[in-house]
Amino acid sequence: MIYCVVPPELGDQAYRRLVEHYKDNPNITVILDRRQGDRRRDRSGGGEREQRDRRRHRLPGALQI
Tens digits of residue pLDDT in 25-48 = 999 999 999 888 766 665 566 667
* Contact criterion met (CB below 8 Å) for 19 and 25: no
CA distance 29 to 49: 36
Report if residue 65 sits inside a domain.
no
Q: How many distinct structural domains can be found in the chain?
A: 1
Report if residue 43 sits inside a domain.
no
Indicate the residue type of 53: D
Of 14 and 57, the structure prediction assigns the larger pLDDT to 14
Position 23 scores a pLDDT of: 95
Q: What percent of the chain has pLDDT over 90?
A: 48
Count how many Cα atoms sit within 13 Å of the Cα of residue 30 in the half-sphere of its side chain.
Answer: 18
Position 18 scores a pLDDT of: 96
What is the domain extent for residue 23?
2-34
Report if residue 40 sits inside a domain.
no
Report if residue 12 sits inside a domain.
yes
Position 25 scores a pLDDT of: 96
